[in-house]
Amino acid sequence: MKDIVEALEKKRQDARLGGGQKRIDAQHAKGKLTARERVALLLDEGSFEEWDMFVEHRSHDFGMENQRIPGDGVVTGWGTINGRVIYVFSKDFTVFGGSLSRAHAEKIVKVQQAAMKNGAPLIGLFDAGGARIQEGVEALGGYADIFLENVLASGVIPQISVIMGPCAGGDVYSPAMTDFIFMVKDTSYMYVTGPDVVKTVTNEIVTHEELGGARVHAQKSGVVDGSYENDIETLTQMRRLVGFLPLSNREKPPTVPTFDDPERAEPSLDSLVPANPNTPYDMKELIQKVADEGDFFEIGKDFGKNIITGFGRMEGSTVGFVANQPMSLAGVLDIDASRKAARFVRFCDCFNIPIITFVDVPGFMPGTKQEYGGLIKHGAKLLFAYAEATVPKVTVITRKAYGGAYDVMSSKHLRGDVNFAWPTAEIAVMGAKGAVEIIFRADIGDAEKIAARTAEYQSRFANPYVAASRGFIDDVIMPHNTRKRIVRSLRTLKNKQLSNPQKKHDNIPL
Ligand code: HXC
């Protein structure tokens, strides 16, 4: 019996070595952790239960029959994060470059299906060279099996992808269908086709970093939701993110104990909005002053900065914050901001997370670049997302709410549950200057007349009271009481019931 137990332990030790010590050293030399080291850091200490450690590929081509490594390039199983069950797979670059064989794909599908069945999030850690070239179409089929599970799981369990090395070819599309993607700076890159193919097809010469590095995707393409300095920081942040999320769509958002007084007044908010309507201020300050203990996990920090999205807590329970950011492009809604916020709103709605919206928006971004890029369709995504969302929605207009953007930003008309405005709010079709130049075009040469008309328009419309008189705003509130008023509103919405008409699915403008 002792021999048998020892034989098992030996088999396990061999499997844990993956592609061998030399390749593990090479991985470390690149500043990367191994697949198992990453899993150990991501999950609670000692909680990981590995599955399919002895699975091997079944290929007989190109000498592969002589190269079978237990685990076959991916570590799979489950564990806990702060005691809550999480399923995980972690690509092992030391084994055939983490490339995907049929057997490797089957391992991933197994944890995908278990996560779905048991209602627990799935986190995938990527570090791989794409399809196992020696396997051909078997690998392609394996990818498609994974993609299908990603789609079926979308909106049922949170799915998070973390890119921690190469992620190319077939490997990019599974992350793309998950809820969030994060990258590690300098050691990871993500693209459909690599620099060599790019050069052959388009004659462009680019590096891995220029084509698909963390900065490119976090700032330019918006493909990823954030990037961090190294493996350890990235995995620590993933643990933090998971703390905000329900385990599945069957659950309410998690609640954690908080010592932050729900009625806490914040006098500094009374002077947050500057006297000059064109002077910016930092909307993040409002989020941090309203959220429990100022704890805010931002999603998409470096992309579409004119809108802020992320998770916080109110009275210990997760909420999603969406807020125009006057510090960037005056908080205007453009293509990037609309896409980013629409996806975030939809995530919150899938997972029963109430949405708190802070509004200071001068409208949609004008110009050919935006129109040629399809602003109409992209802006409509955010409108659509807010309108269809049935989770509790609380809105606070701090300053500008102009034009169509007023409608879009969780207005009463799109089933906003509680809509507040600060006394500094200006809810109007447009700013006073622009309005006067249109309706009094004949007076444009007469500066005095224009100034008088502008002042008249300003005092008539640049306030929250016209909207409040129509019931579009439920109350005009003191800025220092914002936290208290939101908390009290959310309490009334705890048992909110609202559903959309029966349909197969909607047809959001993609
Ligand atoms: C089999 C692979 C592999 C692959 C890497 N390896 N990629 N084995 N299939 N796709 C192996 C290498 O042979 C090597 O083995 C080890 O992994 C490490 O690779 P290196 O090239 O030495 O590492 P590095 O220099 O860091 O370069 C990493 C890399 C490069 C940029 C990812 O390996 C690479 O370009 N790989 C191929 C990428 C690719 O074209 N994949 C197919 C995409 S097509 P040894 O034994 O020497 O250590 C695709 C289509 C699917 O995915 C579509 C489905 C929808």
Per residue in 375-403, pLDDT (tens digit) is 999 999 999 999 999 999 999 999 999 99
Query: Does the structure show a pLDDT above 90 at 275?
Result: no
Ligand 1 centroid distance, CA of 184 (Å): 19
Max intra-chain CA distance, the chain:
101
Query: Does the structure show a pLDDT above 90 at 431?
Result: no
472 lines ligand 1 (CB under 6 A): no
CA dist 469 and 208 (Å) reads 57
Q: Is residue 493 within 8 Å of 353, Cβ to Cβ?
A: no
Mean of per-residue pLDDT scores for the chain: 95
Average pLDDT over residues 192-208: 93
pLDDT computed for residue 436 by the predictor:
85
Query: What totals of helices (H) and strands (E) does the chain contain, helices first?
Result: 19, 16
132 lines ligand 1 (CB under 6 A): yes
Specify the amino acid at residue 186.
D
Global confidence as pTM: 0.95
CA dist 121 and 247 (Å) reads 6
Question: Is residue 307 assigned to a domain?
Answer: yes
CA dist 169 and 167 (Å) reads 7
What CATH code is carried by the domain that includes residue 196?
3.90.226.10
Beta bridge partners of 402: 428
Question: Is residue 496 assigned to a domain?
Answer: no
Question: Is residue 505 assigned to a domain?
Answer: no
DSSP for 349-392 reads HHTT--EEEEEEE--BPPSHHHHHTTHHHHHHHHHHHHHH--S-
Q: Is residue 121 within 8 Å of 141, Cβ to Cβ?
A: no
Question: Is residue 247 assigned to a domain?
Answer: no
Shared domain check, 170 and 75: yes
Q: Which positions ≥6 away from 411 have C-beta within 8 Å? A: 395, 401, 419, 472
CA dist 7 and 155 (Å) reads 43
Which of 119, 155, 373, 404 is an active site residue?
404
Query: Does the structure show a pLDDT above 90 at 121?
Result: yes
Closest CA to 281 of 400, 167, 114, 152: 400
Closest ligand 1 atom, residue 128 Cα: 32
Count of alpha carbons within 13 Å of 88, Cβ hemisphere only?
31
Tell me if residue 124 is catalytic.
Answer: no
Q: Give strand ranges (E) for 403-474.
A: 418-421, 426-428
Q: Give strand ranges (E) for 4-83.
A: 49-51, 74-81
Q: What is the CA radius of gyration of the chain?
A: 26
Shared domain check, 483 and 457: no
Query: Does the structure show a pLDDT above 90 at 257?
Result: yes
Closest ligand 1 atom, residue 133 Cα: 9
Ligand 1 centroid distance, CA of 326 (Å): 45
Q: For the purposes of burial, counting CB atoms within 10 Å of the CB of 481, is it exposed (0-12), middle (13-18) or buried (19 or more)?
A: middle
CA dist 468 and 322 (Å) reads 22
Hey, whose CA ends up nearest to atom 46 of ligand 1? 96
197 lines ligand 1 (CB under 6 A): no
Which of 98, 130, 170, 300 is an active site residue?
170
pLDDT band at 362 (very low <50, low <70, confident <90, very high): very high
Q: Is residue 210 within 8 Å of 81, Cβ to Cβ?
A: no
Hey, whose CA ends up nearest to atom 7 of ligand 1? 129
Hey, whose CA ends up nearest to atom 45 of ligand 1? 96
Question: Is residue 23 assigned to a domain?
Answer: yes
Query: Does the structure show a pLDDT above 90 at 134?
Result: no
CA dist 136 and 131 (Å) reads 8
Shared domain check, 176 and 316: no
Shared domain check, 173 and 30: yes
Shared domain check, 317 and 373: yes
Shared domain check, 315 and 221: no
pLDDT computed for residue 432 by the predictor:
82
Hey, whose CA ends up nearest to atom 15 of ligand 1? 96
Shared domain check, 196 and 66: yes
Pocket test for ligand 1, best of 96, 148, 171 (most atoms within 8 A of CB): 96
Tell me if residue 405 is catalytic.
Answer: yes
pLDDT band at 462 (very low <50, low <70, confident <90, very high): confident
Beta bridge partners of 49: 78
Ligand 1 centroid distance, CA of 227 (Å): 23
Question: Is residue 262 assigned to a domain?
Answer: no
Ligand 1 centroid distance, CA of 97 (Å): 5
Shared domain check, 348 and 456: no
Hey, whose CA ends up nearest to atom 6 of ligand 1? 97
Hey, whose CA ends up nearest to atom 4 of ligand 1? 132
pLDDT band at 64 (very low <50, low <70, confident <90, very high): confident
Ligand 1 centroid distance, CA of 322 (Å): 40
pLDDT computed for residue 447 by the predictor:
85
312 lines ligand 1 (CB under 6 A): no
How are the residues of the chain apportioned to helix, strand and coil, as percentages rounded to the nearest 5? 45, 20, 35
Residue 137, token pair as written in the block: 């179409």
Query: Does the structure show a pLDDT above 90 at 9?
Result: yes
Tell me if residue 136 is catalytic.
Answer: no
Shared domain check, 449 and 378: no
Which domain does 91 fall in, by range?
A: 2-242
169 lines ligand 1 (CB under 6 A): yes
Question: Is residue 437 assigned to a domain?
Answer: yes
73 lines ligand 1 (CB under 6 A): no
What is the b/e burial string over 359-386, where b = at least 16 CB atoms within 10 angstroms of the residue's CB?
Answer: bbbbbbbeeeebeeeebeebbbbbbbbb
What's the domain count of the chain?
3
Closest CA to 160 of 110, 125, 114, 201: 125
Q: Is residue 413 within 8 Å of 395, Cβ to Cβ?
A: no
pLDDT in tens, 169-179: 889 999 999 99
Write down which residue in 207, 242, 277 finishes a domain: 242
pLDDT in tens, 82-116: 999 999 999 999 999 999 999 999 999 999 999 99
pLDDT in tens, 297-322: 999 999 999 999 999 999 999 999 99
87 lines ligand 1 (CB under 6 A): no
Tell me if residue 404 is catalytic.
Answer: yes
64 lines ligand 1 (CB under 6 A): no
Q: What percent of the chain has pLDDT over 70?
A: 100
Shared domain check, 212 and 336: no
Write down which residue in 175, 209, 242 finishes a domain: 242
Hey, whose CA ends up nearest to atom 24 of ligand 1? 97
Query: Does the structure show a pLDDT above 80 at 189?
Result: yes
65-69, 218-222, 451-455: segment of lowest average pLDDT: 65-69
Which of 129, 169, 300, 416 is an active site residue?
169
Question: Is residue 502 assigned to a domain?
Answer: no
Shared domain check, 325 and 367: yes
pLDDT computed for residue 374 by the predictor:
97
Shared domain check, 473 and 446: no
